[in-house]
Chain A
Amino acid sequence: MTGTAIPWIAAGVGVSVAVASAPATLPVTASVSLVLPLLASAIALATPLLLAALGELVTERAGVLNIGMEGLVLTGAFAGMLGCHASGSPLVGMVAACAAAAAVGALFALWVVVLDADQVVAGAAVNLLALGMTGVAYRSFFGMTGAALTVATFAPLRIGPDLPVLAPLRQPAPVYVALALVPIVWLLLFRTRFGLRLRAAGEAPDAAESLGVHVGALRWAAILVGALLAGAAGGYLALAYSNTFVEGMSAGRGFIALAIVVFGRWRPLGVLAGALVFGVANALQFQLQAAGIIVPYHLLLMLPYVLTLVVLALASRASAAPAALGQRRSSNAASD
């Protein structure tokens, strides 16, 4: 079994378990009426995970582990809401989301690239910083009650004739942008000079540097692109998935993105598969709840995380991770 096949098999198992378990407990007609909403909901839930995971993929390919993605998603959600609230335009909100997350990403890059600080610790600080900043800013803008504020959102696209079967395709534009980013990120990483250099910075930074590759500049670029995508994930949450901001609304999605990248073996298509598995698992939980079916949904919610660990454990020991992932430059130089 090749390493790249594992996520696909796991994805297949995850989706079939999800689809199979609905009819098992329901009459056939009810299950048909559940599958389409399930699919629509799964795509909607997978999109922010896909965006954040693609961002983390680019970052990690350059050798930087950013566990601060959670904070960047949260920053994006807040800035997106704020931008849309101020301008009335979800598009402006989305730009604000990306810009704000990139600004916080620049702070992370300043620490891990320029100061050569430990990536895990700096990432943890970014998460705390975003949690605090968005919380304080939200309360100061919108009052201590933190009353929910609704903003304009991206409308679902009207695709094809008005058939129920096409309903899962009627998603807001950012969903399609996220899907289009899968081949774009693949092209960027594997078919451009920039991508080659970026991956070299992640596999063998010292060797790459000696060949004239500017590792620091590439890592800056990778972190900023990753932060931009995390911001888009947050913007999507506030401006397409819901129409408001809630404190802590990233709800662990930035951490799940880390798992999806490992799950997807550091490849864009694998990341897409991983995002869909998590999307289906989450959607299934909501659908079962909505249908009033009593299942231990907490246990169901556990599945994606457990599945990730099982997949990682089964994957070949020769890791697909970039060789220099998470390492500090100076500790490389200092080790014998």
Chain B
Amino acid sequence: MIPQPPDSTAPPGVDAESAAISWVRAAAPAVAAIAALTVSAAVVFAAGGNPAVALGALASGAVGDRFALVDTLVKACPLVLTGLAVALAFRSGVWNIGAEGQLLVGALAATAVGEASGTLPSPLPLLLALAAGALAGALWAAIPAALLVARNVSEVIGTIMLNFVAVRLVGWAVHGPLLESGARYPQSDPLLPAALLPLVAGRLHAGVPIAAALALVVWAVLFHTAIGFRWRALGQNPRAARAAGFSPARTLVSAMLASGGLAGLAGAVEVLGVTGRLFEQFSGGQGYTAIAVALLARLHPLGVAVAALFFGALAAGSGSMQRAAGVSAVLVAIVQAATILALLALESPRLALTHRAPAPANGKTT
């Protein structure tokens, strides 16, 4: 199904081949990232740019000074949360391609609740807005989950459709009920300070440590709780899940609720920590980038934090690359694509680089 996570046990009998396989498996994300940057340098060259200048500007824009580092952390924050959302769903064998839509409804709900509760005593508006964002994302993800469980509607189609509905919903909200008082631009009024995430240092908002902590929480839940075990079991083999005595349907719905909640929280954190208001085109595709983040992390929650930093750095550095080297910032999308494709190739069962060739089909019982 999905690229096998590193902890999925190899068959018994450790030998030289297994050792080589686990070595390649451990190195795969780094190899993929390097391959992706190499491909991108080639693209820069083909487009008439200077790869050294472009990548140098990219690096200095990402980690060159304190301001750049903060920018990288701030850009990584929503990717940690959406990456966790995707990793959790994929681990559970559910194709949640809808982190984008869940992020958008999370941002919408956080804005609406943040505005409505802005005059309450201090921590309340913020907490209510964060909770509303997570809840909205979870409910948005519950729709395709219910359609899948009850009506056998593919969650790939369901989540993609709801991404589009969410885009329109945000568009409607900022042209309608949430339109700013002056009605000059299709955007909401700025949120009151009581609803905003406090700033830790410069533009670094409190959402960044929250996201890092959630990576630990998701790791703990996934590997050290009963529900986490069920999610992983469902992802490995739905029939075994049923045989182990728990309901695949209920497990699937709970995985989607948790996944949607994380993505919804990502939207809330962006509104409350970065933009301070909602507008059209609110998401820059973080919900889709999340797929690359989760895969580069090999669907591991702690890896998600690292992979999100990588893509956050690219996002932060792409602007200065565009200014310095004249290469469009959208080059970042090529890095993402090349990373995914390199990882898929390294994990390919046909190449058998990171796991044993599939057993011949003669052992089939059905």
Question: Which residues of A line the B interface, CB within 8 A?
Answer: 65, 67, 111, 114-118, 120-122, 124-129, 131-133, 135-140, 144, 206, 247, 252, 255-256, 258-259, 262, 296, 298-299, 301-302, 305-306, 308-309, 312-313, 315, 317, 319, 321, 326, 328, 330-331, 333-336
Q: Are B157 and A262 in contact, CB atoms less than 8 angstroms apart?
A: yes
Question: Which residues of B line the A interface, CB within 8 A?
Answer: 1-3, 43-44, 47-49, 95, 97, 143, 147, 150-154, 156-158, 160-165, 168-169, 171-172, 175-176, 237, 239, 288, 291-292, 295, 322, 326-328, 330-338, 340-341, 344-345, 347-351, 358-361, 364-366
Q: Are B344 and A122 in contact, CB atoms less than 8 angstroms apart?
A: yes
CB-CB nearest 9 A-B residue pairs:
A132-B333, A135-B330, A132-B334, A129-B337, A298-B172, A140-B47, A128-B337, A117-B344, A115-B348
Q: Are B350 and A296 in contact, CB atoms less than 8 angstroms apart?
A: no
Q: Are B47 and A125 in contact, CB atoms less than 8 angstroms apart?
A: no
In whole angstroms, what is the CA distance A317 to B150 when docked?
Answer: 9
In whole angstroms, what is the CA distance A128 to B331 when docked?
Answer: 10
In whole angstroms, what is the CA distance A302 to B168 when docked?
Answer: 6
In whole angstroms, what is the CA distance A272 to B342 when docked?
Answer: 37
Determine how close the nearest CB of chain A comes to the CB of B328; give it in whole angstroms. 4
Q: Are A114 and B350 in contact, CB atoms less than 8 angstroms apart?
A: yes
With A124-B97, A128-B340 as given contacts, are A139 and B328 in contact (CB-CB < 8 Å)? Answer: yes
B322: A residues at CB distance < 8 A? 144
Determine how close the nearest CB of chain B comes to the CB of A81; give it in whole angstroms. 16
Q: Are B157 and A111 in contact, CB atoms less than 8 angstroms apart?
A: no
Q: Are A111 and B341 in contact, CB atoms less than 8 angstroms apart?
A: yes
Determine how close the nearest CB of chain B comes to the CB of A30; give it in whole angstroms. 24
A336: B residues at CB distance < 8 A? 239, 364-366
Q: Are A259 and B349 in contact, CB atoms less than 8 angstroms apart?
A: no
**Besides the known contacts A127-B288, A127-B337, A308-B161, 11 further A-B residue pairs in the complex with CB atoms under 8 A apart:** A122-B340, A125-B292, A131-B330, A132-B336, A136-B328, A140-B49, A302-B172, A309-B158, A317-B151, A319-B152, A334-B358
Determine how close the nearest CB of chain A comes to the CB of B19; give it in whole angstroms. 23
A309: B residues at CB distance < 8 A? 143, 147, 153, 158, 161-162
In whole angstroms, what is the CA distance A55 to B47 when docked?
Answer: 30
Partner of A259, one of B161, B169, B337, B344: B161
Determine how close the nearest CB of chain A comes to the CB of B183; give it in whole angstroms. 14
Closest chain A residue, CB of each to CB of B358: A330
A335: B residues at CB distance < 8 A? 237
Q: Are A255 and B168 in contact, CB atoms less than 8 angstroms apart?
A: no
Determine how close the nearest CB of chain A comes to the CB of B258; give it in whole angstroms. 20
Q: Are B334 and A136 in contact, CB atoms less than 8 angstroms apart?
A: yes
In whole angstroms, what is the CA distance A256 to B168 when docked?
Answer: 14
In whole angstroms, what is the CA distance A90 to B214 when docked?
Answer: 53
Partner of B165, one of A65, A135, A256, A305: A305
Q: Are A333 and B165 in contact, CB atoms less than 8 angstroms apart?
A: no
Closest chain A residue, CB of each to CB of B334: A132
B156: A residues at CB distance < 8 A? 65, 67, 120, 258, 326
Closest chain B residue, CB of each to CB of A107: B341
In whole angstroms, what is the CA distance A296 to B169 when docked?
Answer: 10
Partner of A128, one of B171, B336, B345: B336
Determine how close the nearest CB of chain A comes to the CB of B298; give it in whole angstroms. 12
Closest chain B residue, CB of each to CB of A137: B47
With A133-B43, A136-B43, A330-B350 as given contacts, are A255 and B160 in contact (CB-CB < 8 Å)? Answer: yes
In whole angstroms, what is the CA distance A248 to B237 when docked?
Answer: 38
Q: Are B328 and A121 in contact, CB atoms less than 8 angstroms apart?
A: no
B48: A residues at CB distance < 8 A? 140
